Amino acid sequence: VAFPSKATHQQTRAYNAALVLRALYEFGPISRADVARLSALTRTTVGDVIAELMADGLAREIGRGPSTGGKAPILLELVDDARQVIGLDLGEFRFRGAVVDLRGRVQATTEREVGGLNGDQALAVVHEIIDELAEGRRPTLLGIGVGTPGIVDASTGTIRWAVNLDWQDLPLGELLHKRYDVPVQVANDSRAAALAIQLFHGRRPTNLVAIKVGRGIGAGVVLGGELFHGDGFGAGEIGHTVVDVDGAQCRCGQFGCLETVASSRAIAAFATEAARDHPESILAERLAKAGEDVDDAGPGGARGLHLDDVRAALVTGDEEARRIVVGAGRALGQVVAGMIGFLDIERIVLHGSVASLGQPWLEAVRDEARRRSLGLLSRDVTIELAPTTDDLVVMGASALLLTAELGLAVGR
């Protein structure tokens, strides 16, 4: 491996611009002198970079700050809406897209149902969504970020395998870059969501694990302020960790994977089974209703209970629903305990459709994680629900792009 001996002039400029942008982003309004201090760049360099940013409309002067003896310094700030990013969440049944500004504030959204579409049709929908959102915004469009289920080579933007969309080795990043002529970032959805929590929600922890629990289960790991992808871009793929050696067969071929006991599909299947075994339960009542109502047949046409039914039964105090939800939470807690022991990360955030089961589920995850990890390690660990769940992947996809293009969110 040859190391580059000298950064090119252009690389240096981009790097300096990123340092200045980050100072404006995190500490603005701020003076040129303070930007120089924080970025460890010379005042001359900072002055040059700021002149360029102002010419590009990315920074502006907002008057003088308080004087500390001499002449009061002119303060600068980032122009939050100077650029827009399009973020996409390619969910299993629905694609969602949003336009956000540099602070992650949503300016427009759109979505399309995609259940049952094949690979090329699904790609056409991606174009449709971007076309709609980019309309009238092309001059200030900074780039496109995409979060998708499956294994993604984030360095090239190639989706190696997304089983539900029938995409294999699809160079999505390259295709979108050619079509729209802006930078594109593509990553796995769980990882994108972790970045959203890191950049837009809360205390900017340096280390964070965010676990998406829906039909699939995957974790995004942020280490030292940066997303950790793993050598094969499979870091955080915890859904196929075996938690029950005598368990049911998983769609991956193994038996007793976490997804077979803790995913939304598993919870719905257990609930359907329990409804049949316990005719007096609220679950049974809901199943009878589902049977009458043909329109209630879920995606794929399977007639049975859904996660929504389990949530509703749980709220009314149904014992069977509670037993199932606690069981699913415990199984996840078992795997979370392993992550705590291995990584010693203090903040674990849960999101995805299953997280909507709320407190009883969260408590089960916590109890089991605590019970199974060393007391010393688990004492300071917080396991919590994400502040919002709907837009995390869309926001994370935007965060991917902001991080790559402006150097934001990188650990200080």
- Closest approach of Zn ion to the CB of residue 318, in Å: 29
- Closest approach of Zn ion to the CB of residue 242, in Å: 8
- Closest approach of Zn ion to the CB of residue 257, in Å: 3
Nearer to Zn ion, 83 or 240 (CB): 240
What does the binding site for Zn ion look like in residue numbers (CB under 5 A)?
240, 250, 252, 254, 257
Tokens 């995913």 correspond to what residue? 263
Nearer to Zn ion, 257 or 287 (CB): 257
CA atoms within 13 A on the CB side of 314: 22
Nearer to Zn ion, 117 or 161 (CB): 161
41: left (phi over 0), alpha (psi -120 to 50) or beta: beta
Hey, what amino acid is at 140? Answer: T
- Closest approach of Zn ion to the CB of residue 161, in Å: 14
Hey, what amino acid is at 337? Answer: A
- Closest approach of Zn ion to the CB of residue 245, in Å: 13
- Closest approach of Zn ion to the CB of residue 27, in Å: 45
Tokens at residue 199, please?
Answer: 């950049």
Q: Which residues contact 246 (CB under 8 A, 6 or more apart)?
A: 255, 256
Nearer to Zn ion, 54 or 163 (CB): 163
- Closest approach of Zn ion to the CB of residue 55, in Å: 53
- Closest approach of Zn ion to the CB of residue 300, in Å: 19
- Closest approach of Zn ion to the CB of residue 250, in Å: 3
Own/partner long-range contacts of 371-379 (Cβ < 8 Å, ≥24 apart) = 371/333, 371/337, 372/333, 372/334, 372/337, 372/338, 373/337, 373/340, 373/341, 374/341, 377/340, 377/341, 377/344, 378/337, 378/340
Instruction: State how far the Cα of 65 lies from the Cα of 75, in Å rounded to an integer.
Output: 6
Nearer to Zn ion, 249 or 382 (CB): 249
Nearer to Zn ion, 198 or 264 (CB): 264
Identify whether the C-beta of residue 168 lies closer than 8 Å to the C-beta of residue 195: no
Nearer to Zn ion, 110 or 254 (CB): 254
Identify whether the C-beta of residue 134 lies closer than 8 Å to the C-beta of residue 141: yes
Identify whether the C-beta of residue 53 lies closer than 8 Å to the C-beta of residue 20: yes
Strands 141-148 and 382-385: unpaired
Closest CA to 250 of 283, 209, 217, 272: 217
- Closest approach of Zn ion to the CB of residue 151, in Å: 14
Nearer to Zn ion, 119 or 247 (CB): 247
Nearer to Zn ion, 183 or 239 (CB): 239
Hey, what amino acid is at 233? Answer: F
Nearer to Zn ion, 263 or 272 (CB): 263
User: How many C-beta atoms lie closer than 10 Å to residue 169's C-beta?
Assistant: 9
